[in-house]
Amino acid sequence: MENKESSLFVFAGKYGVLGAIVAIVITLLFFVLHMQDSAWLNIVHAVLLVLIILWGQYEYGKTQTASAGYGTMVGLGVLIVLYYAIVAGVYGFIHLGYIDTQAMSRSLDAAEEAMLMQGLPDEQIRIALEYQAKFTSPMVASLFGAVGSMVIGTIISLITSIMMKKNQ
């Protein structure tokens, strides 16, 4: 049993780290093309997350002599996302802290512009920006990104596990 569990961790690690490396390359590509603030980056990352979970679950299902259960497939998907989130989160900290150091100020500027467009009073905008600035450090942004990836990835894993179970 322990061998099966450790092999599941190793298997998930392979796909999670691979997915994170692809996400890092995509992030750098968008940065070089000056598209780092594009909504397309988030869409591409979400599609990548779905594909990497599906690929990992599919390959794991192929390696099993007996049909892998729903719980095993969900667990595998969550483990894949855990590895993905850790590697991508560490890179996110490095990227925001040392590569794209202006990302947080662009985020605050965009938020201020949106509040001005809504016609909010200056005092309310100032207070909102003060609170937002507390949550826009590279460490906090990377942590929120990793946690967000885990939540979304878990939901994706629940859904993709149903699909994988039907295909077995």
Q: pLDDT value at position 1?
A: 47
Q: How far apart are CA 153 and CA 53, in angstroms?
A: 8
Number of other residues whose CB lies within 10 A of the CB of residue 59: 13
Q: How confident is the model at residue 3, as a pLDDT?
A: 56
pLDDT of residue 168: 61
pTM > 0.95: no
**The two structure tokens encoding residue 88:** 């991508």
Average pLDDT, the chain: 90
Residue 153, both tokens: 């990835």
SS3 for the chain is: CHHHHHHHHHHHHHHHHHHHHHHHHHHHHHHHCCCCCCHHHHHHHHHHHHHHHHHHHHHHHHHCCCCCCHHHHHHHHHHHHHHHHHHHHHHHHHHHHHHCCCHHHHHHHHHHHHHHHHCCCHHHHHHHHHHHHHCCCHHHHHHHHHHHHHHHHHHHHHHHHHHHHHHC
The 10s digit of each residue's pLDDT in 96-125 is 999 998 988 898 898 889 999 999 898 998
Report the share of the chain in percent with pLDDT over 70.
Answer: 93
The residue ranges of every structural domain in the chain are 2-97+138-167
pLDDT at residue 44, as a whole number:
97
Question: What residues in the chain have per-residue pLDDT under 70?
Answer: 1-6, 65-66, 166-168
For position 95, what pLDDT does the model report?
95
Residue 137: the pLDDT is 87
